[in-house]
Structure 1
Amino acid sequence: MNKQVRNKAIAKARVRDTQAEFVKKMIIGLFSTLIIAAIFIFGGNAHADNKDPAEQEKARQFIEAFSERAIGVLNNKELTDAETLAEYRSILNESFALPYIARLSLSRHRKKATEEELAEYNKLFPEFILKVNSTRLKKLDTTKLEIDKVTPHAKADIFIRTKAFNSENKSIDVDWRVRSDKNGNVKIIDVKIEGISLVATQRDDFTSRITSSGISGLNQYMRDIIDGTTFAEETAS
């Protein structure tokens, strides 16, 4: 009898230990998940305080270097069209947060896209942006860019207000919205020319095209721009 009581007590103790171990693992798993989520959500910009003068100076220097390089290519008449396009492609890929801009441009319509349509869209977007904006750049007569003001915006972004001057010394206001990525590299996420956001303009254009012909129609339009079937000048107004 005593042996049976003892065996039951041992069995109950093992059940309690198993339950306690299960609860312990659940708690550890929950905290691990929360930590990972916190790193994912906040880690990308946790190191970059946009109110820090050092961060603002880094953003200023980034735009100075970017503009000097871009204007140099724009005004280099010795480059062939292919060489100019290659230089612009390099500048675009290095200086702009293209995946982020692609998401903003597609906006809520991402939910409507199939995996195949979305994959094609993301593949086409960088070259499409290159072709459209290289056409616009050819029309510009920019000789220099001067920085007026650097100001933090929201929690992570920095606005850099500049004036772009042409050969007649006439200027237009150009605002650059930049953000540091998870590696601390400054990237351009939007450009406002005389108060008009290029990303918002692109998003509105995409929304209109998706409304009339769907995501597949938008992708076909981008392919036509890239292939030269449709000329980018038609979208450069």
Structure 2
Amino acid sequence: MTAGITRMLRGVGFAFFAAALAFAGPLVAPAAAQPETPAEFLEDFSNTALTELTGDGLSQDEREARFGSLLEEGFDVPAVSQFILARFWRTASEQERADFIVVFKDYLAQRFLPLFGGATDVELRFGEGVPLQGRDDLFEVPVTFVPADGSEPVRTIWRVRQQASDFKILDVRAEGVSLAVTLRDEYTSVIRQQGSVAGLIEELRRLIDSGQIRPVNQQS
């Protein structure tokens, strides 16, 4: 399962650093005014993520705990989990759904936290959010990642939903590749192999516990 994700991550490079930022939100309410647009929301999130997750003196356990808290604040985890499990979500028990969300968050932490190491070497340029399919609550926001070394910029699209006065991130696409769709395809394959959502949960936990979810250059 991880081979496909690894190939995709290599192919889009910095773009999936965007996904790591997308899974981050403020630990506490910001002192500044609440963001009024999706672009302002994403810019606040990226700044807060860099501050909270790249500070000196943080243990790995503390960084992972912070990541989990940030994830809950900024990302619609239940909605994304439901999308990723697709039709299997409907047949899963309430306990299996809850267990999947827990292991999914652990997966994201191990997959994306190491990518914050080079974050200060990238400039983020935020475009204006565009309403999607005539809706006034769903937006696509272009974000361009410009490496400091002068290499080719990476253009991404973040999908953001407005909920009352708050925003939640649903997905990020890079070079036409959707993170949520990629994970859905990977997880569906595992469910078919293992025979159930419970089997997927068990396999994800095994991979996490063995450290196989980390980026290749971070594995021991």
Aligned length in residues: 179
Name which of structure 1's ranges 95-104 and 76-85 shifts more when overlaid on structure 2.
76-85
Q: Which residue is 2:161 aligned to? A: 179
2:74 partner amino acid: S
SS in 2 for 1:149: coil
Q: Does 1:108 align with 2:90?
A: no
Q: Which residue of 2 aligns with 1:53?
A: none
Task: Compute the TM-score of the two structures, normalised by the length of structure 1.
Answer: 0.65
Aligned 8 A contact 1:96 1:187 in 2: yes
**1:58 is matched with which residue?**
37
**Equivalent residues of 1:147, 1:162 under 8 A apart:** yes
- CA distance in 2: counterparts of 1:130 and 1:159, whole angstroms: 24
Alignment of 1:158-237 (within 5 A): 158-170=139-151, 171-181=153-163, 183-213=164-194, 214-226=196-208, 228-233=209-214
Identity score, percent: 26
Gaps of 5+ in 1: 1-55
Larger relative contact order (CA 8 Å, sep ≥ 6): 2
SS in structure 1 opposite 2:40? helix
Which residue type is aligned with residue 206 of structure 2?
A: D
2:201 partner letter: N
Q: Is the CA contact 1:135–1:232 (under 8 Å) kept in the aligned structure 2?
A: no
Structure 2 residues without counterparts, runs of 5 or longer: 1-34
Mapped partners of 2:117, 2:78: distance in 1: 25
- Preserved contact between residue 74 and residue 138 of structure 1 (Cα < 8 Å): no
Q: 8 Å contact 2:50–2:119 — kept in the other structure?
A: no
Matched letter for residue 131 of structure 1: Q
Deviation (angstroms), 1:121: 1.7
**What amino acid is the match of 2:169?**
I
**1:119 aligned partner:** 98
- TM-score, with length taken from structure 2: 0.70
Tell me if the contact between 2:122 and 2:148 (Cα under 8 Å) persists in the aligned partners.
yes
Per-residue CA shift, 1:23-81, capped at 9, x if unaligned?
Answer: xxxxxxxxxxxxxxxxxxxxxxxxxxxxxxxxx95212101101112233455344332
Tell me the SS of whatever aligns to 1:164. Answer: strand
| Structure (1/2) with the larger helix percentage | 1
CA shift digits 1:161-208 (9 cap, x unpaired): 011133314321121110012x43101011112221110011011101
Q: How does 1:128-139 map to 2 (within 5 A)?
A: 128-138=107-117
